[in-house]
Each structure stands twice: as C-alpha cells, then as structure tokens.
Amino acid sequence: MTNDVAVSMTAVAKSFGETKALKKCDFVAKAGEVHAIVGENGSGKSTMAKIMSGVIAADAGSALILGKSIASPVDAKEVGLATIFQEVLVADEASVLDNLFVGSEDLFSLRKSSKERESLAQSLLDRLVGKHVDLRQNVGDLPLSVKQWIVIARAVLRKPKVLILDESSAALDLDATVRLHEEIDRLRSEGCAVIIVTHRIAELVRIADRATILRDGFTVGVLEKSEITEANLLRMMTPQDRQISAAASTSAARLSGDRKEALSVHGARPQEASQPFDFVLPQGSIVGVAGLDGQGQDAFVRLVARIISPFGGEVRVLDRESTGLVKVSTLDDAANKGIVYVSGDRKREGIFPQQSIFENLAIGIYQKNLGPFGVIRRKRLKQTFAREIERLRVKIGHPDNRITSLSGGNQQKVLIGRAFANDPRVIVLNDPARGVDLNTKRDLYRELRLFAEGGGSVIYLSSEIEEFLGFADRVDVFHKGSIHRSLDGPDINEETILAAMFGRSVADTMEFSKERKAH
C-alpha cells in the first residue's frame, strides 16, 4: 500500500425517492491496497460503488477518483477506473471475444493489432478460468462461472488503476476464488487500488488490507488487516438491538439411522459422464452438496427439483400422508408434491424483474389462496407476505415497488421467502446465500434448522465450504459427475471436504493438505 489516495469520498449522501441509501459516508482507498466495503444487505455498498463508477450522482458530499470528480461512466473509464458489478452483464448472443472488448475500442485500437489483442485476451482468460476457452464461441452456451470470468477479464484487460468488484466472487467456486485472489494480488502489486464488496468473510480475512464498514447508510468504522475478524465485522455491522439474536447460531444434529426417507433418487446420472448413484435425504435433515465447478452437483440439485431432465435418475418423495415414497415426474409434479427450489442465480432463474416485490414473493401461492368463485384471498396473501418479509428481515420500501428497486441481497431474500411461503416439505437450495449478508445467512440457517426440526428436509448446495460447518448434518461431495464422498460428524470440516472435492479419500486428507500448503 502507498500513501497515494486513489478514492476519496467525504460525507456522501444519496436518496432514491423516500429511501435514504447513503446518509453520510466517508471512504478512502489507497493505491496498492485491497479495501473491502462491508455491511448488511441494503446498507448502501452498491450505491457507493455506483457513485464511484459515475453510474449515479451523489446528492451531497464529494467523491474523487484519483483526484478527479466523476460525472459519468465515461469519465470513470478515462481516469482508469473499472467496475465489475453484482449482476453478470454479458451479451449471450455475442462471442467471448466481443464480450471481452466491448467498450474498450479506444484503449486498444490504436496501440494493438487485433491479433495482439486476441492473444492477450486468450492468455488472461485461460489463466482466470483455469483451462482453455474458445474465444469464438457464443457466451450464451457457457456456464455462469465462465460468464463471470469474462466480466472480470474485461475489466482486468483495461489495466485499471482502481478496480471495484461488487460481489464478483459470488458465482465462483473455491478453486476459482483462489485464482481471482491471485489476480487481485497481481493488480495490487502493480499499484492498483482494489475495492471489494463481499459477504464472504473467509475471503475478506484472506485478502483485504483494510475494511470500511457501513451500517444503514453511514460509515461506522475502518478496520486494519489484523482487526478484520468475523466477530469485529458482525459487531460493527449489526445495530445494537439485534446483536444478541445474531450471535445465536445453529448446530448440526447427528443423523440417526432410523429416520424416514423424505426423498430418494435412484440411479442418478446428472451428467453424461456420471456413474449412476443413489441418494437418500432423511426426513428432518439438512444435507449439504459440494463440489468444484462442473462436477455435476449443480445438475444434480436441478434434477431433484425436476428443473432439468437428467441422463437418468428416478426421484421419489414422501407423500403428504407420510405413508410412502411416490414418484416425481415433472417440475409441476415436484412443486405439487412439496419440493421447492431456490436458485442463487436470481437474474436468470429467480426474479420477475417487471413485477413488484409482493408479486415476486406471492407468485407461487395464488392457487392456494383462492376463495369461493375463484376470488383471491388477498388478506391471507398479505399475511403470508408480511410473515416472510419479517422472518428474513427483508429491507423493502412499499411492497408494490418493483423487485429491482431492492438491493441484490434483499432480492435474494424475497426468493427464499417465496420458497417458505409455498409451505414446502423439501427445500432444494442452489447456492442461495450468494450476495446475502452474514446476519441473514445466520437467520437463514436458523430458519432451515427450524424447518428441519418440524419435519421438513433440506438439500443445500453451496460453493462456500464454510457454509456447511456447524450447519449441515451430512455433506455429499461431488467429483466427476457423481457423489464421491458422503461426510458426516467430525468429517464435516474444511480440510476433509476440500480433499474430497479434489477426489481424495478421507484417509488421504492429511497428505492432501500438506501438498496444498507446499504448493
């Protein structure tokens, strides 16, 4: 870190209609440092990032980037600022190459031939993705994680002096996150000020040199590297009156062998390359699903909810009377039999951007709330809405506002609320805590534990190993398209899960850890 100030914000305020997103924010980032902005969902982090990037203007206060005030994204680009926003912004119908260079003609056209540009892009993207990517293919066919890399590579190619990453690691798995951190280190050593907005505590502790904490539109403090701990962050982020409840965590229950099966999959083949395998979800349990990117775990959870037709696999679920397992054939059938699915890819699979917050939450429960003559029981719907909003403490304005007026994390909470509102018996969550703040994660774990204690069952896919610890009763780790290891009890720990993700046995864990450290 140098003493050169890269970004300086003083007493910045910003409102959207009635909502005061930023009340009084101060922020200073220096050249050559990684500076995290931390706070609960809706505390104003993205608004700050947008002001720095010239996307929106502050109502009051000053914001200077490398000494200049920024009035538009074009200004920001000119002073050398690049931003990677929370949503993965790519043009699906265009090639990887076009997506990488969109908007950077000015930077490259004069100084570099198209061949040089291409080889630069190729080596960067291959390094980030960890394998060869065909630059000519259409982006639409690529998985979300590769799309995320394209957005990151687009920013890095501009050789920024200030780089803002707003929840940019949220779609990346563990190995990919390591590669991102290496890239961040490289940028930092070149003098770039890297500003990260993240809810991933492990990530913060690992890479941030300093952290600025926001609470409800105010800057409440700055932590130096040695002070960045989960306890300190929670204490500063959380309003006084909520600190006690937030500290309560859930604990995993050991699975006894005599539980009823809530759901089973026989002969599952989520990917073409998968060896068929069986899966059992005991009633009242929380089963974690893990794996490195592309190992079949994502397709597996979709298979369970019948979002996709797998290469094989018969899903059966406990019937409403709990007398036996019945076959689930289609997506509708799965929903009717009490299986709900929550996606972490809210933009593609979750929200209806044109609809209100209310509609987005209530969308699945209209049928259940039909009164005589097909009249919707609005009062009952409203009660359900209020209950779910309260349960996860969703920060909203008026329920009739569009869902897109909410912060990213609060949109995700609405989707989780939608799942609970459906009165499910099996909840399948596909990386649901992406972009969700620490306190809400804890609320979510607590609610899922209560749901399990009440006889519900949970399948929880996460790309963050820490999510399973103290929460999941069992973790099924995928490798090469099938479940490689089912871990429970003391085997649910970071090292063992990680080793299994790389296809290693439990007995091999120590050896694996040594190799990784040496590497």
Binding site for ligand ATP (CB under 6 A): 16, 19, 21, 39, 41-47, 395, 405-410, 435, 437
The residue among 41 and 177 lying less far from ligand ATP, judged by its C-beta, is 41
3-state secondary structure of 475: strand
In angstroms, what is the minimal distance from the CB of 223 to ligand ATP?
17
- 262 in Cβ contact with 425 (< 8 Å): yes
Q: How far is CA 5 from CA 28, 66, 209, 324, 377, in A?
A: 7, 7, 15, 66, 57
Strand locations in 161-298 (E): 162-166, 193-197, 210-215, 218-224, 261-269, 277-282, 286-291
In angstroms, what is the minimal distance from the CB of 441 to ligand ATP?
12
Query: What is the per-residue DSSP string for 401-438?
Result: SBGGGS-HHHHHHHHHHHHHHT--SEEEEESTTTT--H
CA-to-CA distance for 332 and 319, rounded, in angstroms? 15
How is residue 440 written in tokens? 């809400």
CA-to-CA distance for 218 and 438, rounded, in angstroms? 18
How is residue 345 written in tokens? 């890819």
Hey, how many other C-beta atoms are within 10 angstroms of the C-beta on 385? 24
Q: Which residue has the tokens 């990151």?
A: 152
Alpha helices, H only, 216-273: 230-237, 243-247
Q: Backbone phi, then psi, for 150, in 5-degree steps?
A: -65, -40
DSSP state of 464: -
Q: Which of 434, 440, 480 is nearest to 460 (CA)?
A: 434
Q: How far is CA 113 from CA 99, 106, 108, in A?
A: 18, 13, 8
In angstroms, what is the minimal distance from the CB of 202 to ligand ATP?
17
CA-based R_g, the chain, Å: 23
How is residue 420 written in tokens? 């609970």
In angstroms, what is the minimal distance from the CB of 494 to ligand ATP?
25
The residue among 405 and 486 lying less far from ligand ATP, judged by its C-beta, is 405
Hey, how many other C-beta atoms are within 10 angstroms of the C-beta on 140? 11
Residue closest to ligand ATP (Cβ): 409
In angstroms, what is the minimal distance from the CB of 139 to ligand ATP?
24
The residue among 260 and 398 lying less far from ligand ATP, judged by its C-beta, is 398
The residue among 437 and 476 lying less far from ligand ATP, judged by its C-beta, is 437
In angstroms, what is the minimal distance from the CB of 447 to ligand ATP?
18
The residue among 47 and 462 lying less far from ligand ATP, judged by its C-beta, is 47
In angstroms, what is the minimal distance from the CB of 415 to ligand ATP?
13
The residue among 237 and 286 lying less far from ligand ATP, judged by its C-beta, is 237
Q: Backbone phi, then psi, for 431, in 5-degree steps?
A: 55, 55
In angstroms, what is the minimal distance from the CB of 501 to ligand ATP?
27
Burial of 138 (0-12, 13-18, 19+ CB in 10 A): middle
The residue among 43 and 219 lying less far from ligand ATP, judged by its C-beta, is 43
The residue among 411 and 509 lying less far from ligand ATP, judged by its C-beta, is 411
The residue among 152 and 426 lying less far from ligand ATP, judged by its C-beta, is 152
In angstroms, what is the minimal distance from the CB of 170 to ligand ATP?
10
In angstroms, what is the minimal distance from the CB of 360 to ligand ATP?
14
In angstroms, what is the minimal distance from the CB of 380 to ligand ATP?
26
In angstroms, what is the minimal distance from the CB of 401 to ligand ATP?
7
- Helix 494-501, helix 509-518: angle, nearest 10: 80
Q: Is the torsion defined by CA of 396, 397, 398, 401 positive or negative?
A: negative
Strand locations in 68-108 (E): 68-69, 81-84
- Helix 408-421, helix 438-453: angle, nearest 10: 10
CA-to-CA distance for 17 and 402, rounded, in angstroms? 13
- 166 in Cβ contact with 200 (< 8 Å): no
DSSP state of 349: I
The residue among 27 and 279 lying less far from ligand ATP, judged by its C-beta, is 27
The residue among 212 and 264 lying less far from ligand ATP, judged by its C-beta, is 212
In angstroms, what is the minimal distance from the CB of 34 to ligand ATP?
18
The residue among 21 and 299 lying less far from ligand ATP, judged by its C-beta, is 21
- 53 in Cβ contact with 164 (< 8 Å): yes
The residue among 20 and 181 lying less far from ligand ATP, judged by its C-beta, is 20
